[in-house]
Amino acid sequence: MAEPVAIMAVLVDIAVGWPASLYRRIGHPVGGFAQLIAGGERRWNRDDASDATRRAAGVATLAIVVGVAIGASSAAVALARLVLGPVAWLAIGLMAAPGLAIRSLYDHVVPVARALETDTIDSARARVAMIVGRDVADLDEAAVARAAIESLAESVCDGVVAPLFWLLVAGLPGLWAYKAINTADSLIGHREQRWRAFGWAAARTDDVANLIPARISGVLLCLAGFGGWRTMWRDAGNHASPNAGWPEAGMAGALGLRLAGPIGYDGAYVAKPYIGDGRADATAGDLRAALAIYRRACVLLLVIAGGVAWAL
């Protein structure tokens, strides 16, 4: 059942994504996770609590959010099977589609390329600021292009491959449990003092959940980019994350670029190591090439899902 559901989910996401009109009316399911996490953070992440207490509170918050994700999606699957019987997979595929971000990711990165090609640098900075967390005020055109490419490569894992992986492994509950974990990591899985203890469980669980998908993502990008293997094996460990370096290094190698390196966050300079040993002067053309690699990687994913469905 998981394989046709996965194909359905991928096709729906590519075709329509999560339309802006729908988002304005009802939001997105991930927004519900964010509200639960924010509520737990406000209630339990107290400044006067010990690190042990805050860590336990973070574990409880994560357990609640994941439990809600699994419970709600399991109930939805049971209802679909009860009502629709043998065609329930169609409804389950529709419910899985919002957990993917294939179209959304593409639609957020393309405007950066367009701005670099036709608009001012200020417009390009504003566009890339919508998809990255770093300081953008002083980025030149090359730095804007690199930032967009890095974000695209990293998001191949948590926006595309990992949700699909967990859908195939554990069905709809697996996909939405992953999305709950990933949302928690993005909101509280930080190293700053406020979140270090409270977000510990979210960060570590997200690391485990992405362990296999990240490496699959790197392999997909190398296949879709017709190269990059040496850079991926050599530089994947240069990233602070145990997982994000795999797709980023694969993309850097495929494009012949040097990514990452020193970055500014909230006015602070972070001396990150470089990933890749190619050119640093990325262009809008490189960003377009990265988007082409991304498209081919998504086609490969669809072919793989179809192959699994046919084999089983």
Contacts of 285 (CB under 8 A, 6+ apart): none
DSSP state of 161: I
pLDDT at 265: 64
Q: Are 258 and 228 in contact (CB under 8 A)?
A: no
What does pTM read for this prediction?
A: 0.94
Q: How far apart are CA 90 and CA 229, in angstroms?
A: 37
**Percent of the chain whose pLDDT exceeds 90:** 76
Residue 232 has pLDDT above 70, yes or no: yes
Dihedral sign for Cα atoms in the order 110, 240, 99, 133:
negative
Locate tokens 């491959």: which residue? Answer: 161
Neighbouring C-beta atoms of residue 10, cutoff 10 Å: 24
Tokens representing residue 34 in the block: 């964010």
DSSP class of 273:
P
Residue 71: other Cβ atoms inside 10 A: 12
Could you give the CA distance from residue 127 to residue 285 in angstroms, rounded to a whole number? 17
User: Highest mean pLDDT range out of 25-39, 52-66, 111-125, 130-144?
Assistant: 52-66
Single-letter residue type at 113: A
∠ CA 272-202-244, nearest 5°, is: 35
Residue with tokens 């179809």: 306
What is the largest distance, in Å, between two alpha-carbon atoms of the chain?
Answer: 57
Average pLDDT, the chain: 92
Two tokens at 255? 């494009």
Q: Which two tokens stand for residue 109?
A: 């990165």
pLDDT at 285 over 70: yes
- Tens-digit pLDDT profile for residues 241-270: 899 999 999 999 999 999 988 776 665 667
| Of 17 and 61, the one with more pLDDT | 61
